Structure 1
C-alpha cells in the first residue's frame, strides 16, 4: 500500500467549492507552472487564526442521535485535519471551504469564557451537561496559544456545572488538576477518540493529532486520577480500521476506560468529495473497495441522513461492525458504565459561590 500525502501535514488535499457561493476559486496548472519557474511558493500551507465575536457560546443540539443536549465550541475549524470529520461542512457557513480551509483557517472565540459565565448565571438556566467539542476539538493546537478551554473549565468548576469533553489531543493532561477537582463532585466526563492502533493509519487519517501511544497514556492518566473516560472508536471505516475493533477495545480497557462507543463513517455534504479525492491520492490500491463498502453501509450512497440509521448504518458490513462492537463490550466492559454527572449543585452556585440561604 502506498501512503503518500500531496500536501504535508494536512488531511484534505484540496479546497472544494463552497455550496453557498455562486463563484468558485480554482488553482490552475499554468499558475503552478509559473510559480515553479519563478521559484515562488504557490501555497505556503500555513495556519491562520482569525478572531470572531459570536453573541452566545452554548448551542442546543436538536439531533436525537448524537448523545448530547448542549454543546459549545471555542474554535471553528480544526487543525487536526481528520479527513472524515463531519464538522467540515460547518465551515461553509462561515464563508470558507470544507477542505483545506477547515484545517488552515481557525476561527477563535476569545470571549468564550465570558459568554459561558453569562449563560450559567441566567436565572432561567437549569443545569444540563454541556459538551465541549460538539463540533471541533477543544484541545486542538490553537488551545496551546489561547487557553480558552482551560478558562472555560475554570468557569464550570466555579459554578459547579457538569461538562463533557471530546478530544484526541494529549494537551488535556495540562488541565488535569482542574479535571480532578470537577471529578470530586461528579461534574466531568471525558471522551477520548481513538480510531486505530496503527501509527501509519493514524498519520494519514488524522495528521496533526496525538499519537496512538500518547492517547492511550491519556486514558490511563485520567483514569488513574478518578476522572471517568469513555473511548470513542469513531468512525469505523470499512477496510481501513474495521479489523481493529477488538484490539482497540482491549487496549483502552487495559488503560482504564469505562466503556466504548462507535459510529460508522458517513460522508455527508462536502465530505464525500473531500474523502474521495483523499483516498484516491493516499490509498489508490484500495480506494474503490473502501468507497463501495461505505456505500453498502448507507443504502448505496456515501451519506445517510436519516436519524437512527446514519450513525450505525445498515446492510451486511454495517451489521458485522455493530456485532463486533457488541462483542467487544461484552468481552472487555461487562458491568461497566460511565457514571452519571451531577446536575444538583449548580443552582446553589449561580453567583459563583455556595448560597447558604
Structure 2
C-alpha cells in the first residue's frame, strides 16, 4: 500500500468481536476492486490530556522523563516499538497506528502547570521517546514547537529524538536553548539505502536528508548525535559503520544503536512485512533475531533488550565500540544544564 508501512490491520491483545467488510461477489459494480485498492486516509483526533510528562524507570533508557505530544505516527515505520501502544486505545497496531492519530492540544499548558508546582525539580525531558514529535501533522498542530517555547521560557533542559527534517523549522528555538546548554538532538538514521528506507519508513525523511539535518544542527551550535536504530540483521545492520561515519563527518558528536525489538503485536506485523518485501531472507533474519533473544523473537529483559545477547549481538557491540573509538566519539548523551530553571512565578528574574 503506497505510503504505508503496514499492509493491513491485525487483531491486538485486547481485541473483542469485530465486523469486517468484504466483497462477496454479488455486487454488479466495481465497488469490490475500489474497496480493495483503498488507502486509509490519515485521521487526527484532538484530545485534552490529563497529564503530559511520562516517567520512566528503565535502566536501559538514559532519561527518566518524556513527552509525546502525539499518539500514533504517520511516518509508518514498520519496526516501531510504539505500535503495540495503540491497542490500549482499542485500535490496531497495524494501519490504525499510522492513520488514526491523536493530538494532545493542551500539551504546552499542561507543561506550564507542571513547572509551576512548588516541588518540581528540573530534569531533562525527552521529546520523541515513543512517537516522532516532528511527524507530518506537526506542520499543522505545532505542538512540539509550543513545548519548546515553554522549555525556553523557563530555561528547562530538553532532548529530542527525530527522523524528520522538519526539526530545522525550529532552529531559532533550538539555537537559543543550546546557548545555555539546554538541549541535545539525536537524529535517528536507519539506512542510507533509499529503496530500503521507502519500504521501512514510507513517510519519513530520506537517510541522506537526515545526515544533512545533523550537519545544519551542528553548524548552528546545537549538540547533535546519531541513533542507528533499529539494526535489523542482514538488512540494514551491515550499514552500521557507514551510518555512523556519515553522521560524524556531518558534525555528530555522539552515537548510539539499538537492536531490533519486536514486542507484542509487532512480531506479527514485522513477519508479514518480511514476507511481503524479503521472503527469501525472512527465515535467516528471524533466526538471527532468535539467536540474539534467547530463542525468542523478543525479550523484554532489562540489560539486554536494547542490545541483545549471544554471538551476533556481541559482534555488533564490538563493531560499534571500534567505530566509536576510531572516530573519537564522545559520551553518548550530554549532561544538560538544570541550574538555569525559572519557575512561572519567577519570570521577573529575566528582566
What does 1:192-271 align with in structure 2 at a 5 Å threshold? 192-271=187-266
Count the aligned residue pairs: 350
SS in structure 2 of the partner of residue 41 of structure 1: helix
CA distance in 2, matches of 1:141, 1:55: 24
1:49 maps onto 2:44 in alignment: yes
Alpha-carbon offset, residue 350 of structure 1: 3.7
TM-score, normalized by length of structure 2?
0.95
- Residue aligning to 1:186: 181
Task: Return closer, same or farther for 1:99/1:337 CA change in 2, 3 Å cut-off.
Answer: closer
1:243-290 CA distances to partner (integer Å, 9 max, x unpaired)? 111111110000000111011001111100000011100111211111
SS in structure 2 of the partner of residue 351 of structure 1: helix
Q: CA RMSD in A?
A: 2.0
- Residue aligning to 1:69: 64
What does 1:145-184 align with in structure 2 at a 5 Å threshold? 145-184=140-179
CA distance in 2, matches of 1:54, 1:282: 38
Equivalent of 1:18 in 4, 12, 21: 12
**Which contiguous aligned blocks of 4+ residues in structure 1 show a shift greater than 6 angstroms?**
31-35
- Residue aligning to 1:134: 129
Q: Is the 8 A contact 2:132 2:163 kept in 1?
A: yes
Q: Is the 8 A contact 1:231 1:257 kept in 2?
A: yes
CA distance in 2, matches of 1:113, 1:280: 42
- Residue aligning to 1:309: 304
- Residue aligning to 2:73: 78
Alpha-carbon offset, residue 144 of structure 1: 0.4
Task: Return closer, same or farther for 1:260/1:27 CA change in 2, 3 Å cut-off.
Answer: farther
CA distance in 1, matches of 2:330, 2:44: 45
1:114 maps onto 2:147 in alignment: no
TM-score, normalized by length of structure 1?
0.93
